[in-house]
Amino acid sequence: MGHDKLRKFAENETFSCLKQPSSEGVVLRTGEPGLHLQDHPLKGRWGADVFGNDRPIVLELGCGKGDYTVALAERFPSMNFIGVDIKGARLWKGAKYVTENKIANAAFLRTRVEFLEAFFAPGEVAEIWLTFSDPQLKSPSSRLSSPEFLRRYCRFLAPGGTVHLKTDSRFLHEYTKAVVKASDYPVLACSADVYVKGLPAGAPPAAPQQGKLPPVVTEIQTFYEKMFLAEGYPITYVAFTPCGEPAAPDFDEKFWKQAEGGRRSFSHAPHKKQ
Ligand SMILES: C[S@@+](CC[C@H](N)C(=O)[O-])C[C@H]1O[C@@H](n2cnc3c(N)ncnc32)[C@H](O)[C@@H]1O
């Protein structure tokens, strides 16, 4: 492991805004197939034990360096924000900023999104942001907007709570819309190009923009968003209310994989590894 990563991991231990529970504490080894979780002491206690208030809690899942979590926390002091990611070296940046700038309404949780039911009680979360999630072209059940993940979110999202997906991946955007449609979830807003630059020549036609986009969609840009924008990718957005059991989508994987074309995967670029 690199010296810089070790330094960040050591400094992470000093940040009170960063919770780094061991997976052994929440994943039960039962010998039975499937994931078996046990509750973490923070479950249902984030307001009282971490923020010291009962204001609404918003999660950013796969937050990376925490750009969205930090920017939302600075804009909305009457709400609490928690960035979740498994990579400690990325979380270090957000946690350091929050610590140095004494931002009381932002925190970070280092864990897998798959384990979140162990950390959040029913109704404890008001909103979820998915920002530039990996489209997981080969593994539908690993997509953070798949029925498998939406079922998990519904176990801690408050009734009427919103899921926002902002992504450069037209594939993930269209897949998510198909899940939402199959599940009959209300769509609050949707856009295939939030900056209205125009889709690239040859791109499949997009549905017209629907609903009013929250201003933060274009006001805040994450680390990955800036890289994708520099490469000329349109940025998409969809917000919906997952109420009830999610359904398998009617989605043409092959067509949309082809439409995705040679999209760059920055997470696999050696010089960008975190
Ligand atoms: C493409 S990066 C985007 C980071 C950030 N949202 C941004 O826009 O700059 C995706 C992030 O999701 C995290 N991630 C992916 N799957 C995850 C999972 N199942 N649990 C926790 N983190 C995950 C990765 O570690 C990575 O930091």
**pLDDT recorded at residue 270:** 37
- Pick from 19, 60, 72, 134 the residue to mutate for probing ligand 1's pocket: most ligand atoms within 8 Å of its CB: 134
Residue 274 CA, closest ligand 1 atom number: 27
Distance 162 CA to ligand 1 centre (A): 19
Distance 62 CA to ligand 1 centre (A): 3
Pocket of ligand 1 (CB under 6 A): 62-64, 67, 85-87, 90, 112-114, 131-134, 222-225, 267
Map residue 58 onto helix, strand or coil: strand
- Pick from 132, 152, 221, 264 the residue to mutate for probing ligand 1's pocket: most ligand atoms within 8 Å of its CB: 132
Q: How would you classify the pairing of strands 125-131 and 106-110? A: unpaired
Length of the chain: 274
Return mean pLDDT, the chain.
Answer: 93
β-sheet bridge partners, residue 129: 60, 164
pLDDT tens per residue, range 100-117:
999 999 999 999 999 999
Amino acid at 249: P
Give the separation between CA 101 and CA 214, rounded to whole angstroms: 26
How many of the other CB atoms lie within 10 Å of CB of 255?
Answer: 12
Residue 273 pLDDT level (bands cut at 50, 70, 90): very low
pLDDT at residue 6 tops 50: yes
Of 37-51, 60-74, 105-119, 193-207, which range is least confident? Answer: 193-207
pLDDT at residue 1 tops 90: no
pLDDT tens per residue, range 151-183:
999 999 999 999 999 999 999 999 999 999 999
Of 90-99, 145-154, 256-265, which range is least confident? Answer: 256-265
Residue 90 pLDDT level (bands cut at 50, 70, 90): very high
Domain with residues 3-272, CATH architecture: 3-Layer(aba) Sandwich (3.40)
Residue 63 CA, closest ligand 1 atom number: 6
**pLDDT recorded at residue 264:** 65
Domain boundaries, the chain: 3-272
pLDDT tens per residue, range 122-140:
999 999 999 999 999 999 9
pLDDT at residue 143 tops 50: yes
Residue 274 pLDDT level (bands cut at 50, 70, 90): very low
What is the share, in percent, of the chain residues with pLDDT greater than 70? 95
The token pair that represents 224 in the structure block: 């990955």
**pLDDT recorded at residue 196:** 86
C-beta separation of 187 from 210 below 8 A: yes
Distance 208 CA to ligand 1 centre (A): 29
**pLDDT recorded at residue 152:** 97
β-sheet bridge partners, residue 229: none
Residue 85 CA, closest ligand 1 atom number: 22
pLDDT at residue 118 tops 60: yes
Distance 272 CA to ligand 1 centre (A): 14
Sheet of strand 106-110, all strands in order from the earlier edge strand to the far edge: 18-19, 106-110, 80-85, 57-61, 125-131, 157-167, 236-240, 187-191
**pLDDT recorded at residue 266:** 63
Give the separation between CA 140 and CA 175, rounded to whole angstroms: 9
pLDDT tens per residue, range 196-247:
877 777 888 888 789 999 999 999 999 999 999 999 889 999 999 998 999 9
Residue whose Cα lies nearest atom 22 of ligand 1: it is: 85
3-state helix vs strand vs coil in the chain, percent to 5: 35, 20, 45
Distance 61 CA to ligand 1 centre (A): 7
Give the separation between CA 191 and CA 177, rounded to whole angstroms: 11
CA distances from 80 to 52, 74, 126, 241 (A): 10, 10, 10, 20
The token pair that represents 220 in the structure block: 């805040």
Residue 268 pLDDT level (bands cut at 50, 70, 90): very low
What mean pLDDT comes out for the span 26-40? 94
134 is catalytic: yes
What mean pLDDT comes out for the span 180-203? 90
Look at residues 42, 51, 47, 49 and name the one whose alpha carbon lies nearest to residue 21: 42
CA 254, distance to chain mean position in Å, is: 25
Residue 114 CA, closest ligand 1 atom number: 19
**pLDDT recorded at residue 102:** 98
**pLDDT recorded at residue 265:** 66
Give the active site residue among 49, 54, 67, 134. Answer: 134
